[in-house]
Structure 1
């Protein structure tokens, strides 16, 4: 009977952890966040929806960030797993847009600590550049 109960509990935990959730304030530890699979980024759909708007590149970058998995590791004004966007903006300039957009696509490790940034190989260079332009616009 204990085995049946234990199996039911494990199954419910597995189903709960695999379901999609919206988080308001992240209270997970860094190790729990790093174990999650990133959401796939549909660059073509995001680009098509942004092409019809007359939004600035910064506005488009914000929409792209909100549609990807970025906010599970980054916040605008404080460190989560990765650096705060304002800290990135303070460190880099417009001259670094190509470098930073490639880091979004390829991922990286070591600049901001030991925890690696997940690569986003399905993202276009153009969309990554819009994201970087938004981040750099947060410079104080």
Structure 2
């Protein structure tokens, strides 16, 4: 009985959290307002998520750095980097987003999983 209850509770927990699967995560990011300034592959006022993935993928501190940017805000980070990826950033400052650290980690992991 204990194993069954544990399995049910884990299942409920997993179902209630947004998964890292494509469409579910896109919907979660949309609900959090990220797409107001970002897009997956085209430039808006902020850099495309695929450019973010290219810049940070494989760096040992990528998740921590990006989570900090999301939860604390960042300023001027993409002004120089935008030329590297062939677009112009229209925004100097990304305000702190209203997401938990855990939500920010899920968002970052999804962004880093995007294909180049």
TM above 0.5, yes or no, is yes
Q: Deviations over 1:73-130 (max 9, x none)?
A: 001111100000010000002531111011101110111125201211x421111000
Given that residues 58 and 137 in structure 1 are in contact (C-alpha distance below 8 angstroms), is that contact kept between their aligned partners in structure 2? no
Given that residues 62 and 131 in structure 1 are in contact (C-alpha distance below 8 angstroms), is that contact kept between their aligned partners in structure 2? no
Q: 1:53 to 1:74 in 2, by over 3 A?
A: same
Question: Are 1:57 and 2:20 matched, yes or no?
Answer: yes
Given that residues 32 and 99 in structure 2 are in contact (C-alpha distance below 8 angstroms), is that contact kept between their aligned partners in structure 1? no
Residue in structure 2 matched with residue 116 of structure 1 by the alignment: 93
Partners of 1:57 and 1:107 in 2: how far apart? 23
Q: Structure 2-normalised TM-score?
A: 0.66
Aligned counterpart for 1:68 among listed residues 32, 41, 65: 32
Given that residues 101 and 129 in structure 1 are in contact (C-alpha distance below 8 angstroms), is that contact kept between their aligned partners in structure 2? yes
Aligned residues: 91
Unaligned runs of 5+ in 2: 1-11, 80-90
Partners of 2:13 and 2:96 in 1: how far apart? 22
Q: Structure 1-normalised TM-score?
A: 0.56
Q: 1:108 to 1:58 in 2, by over 3 A?
A: farther
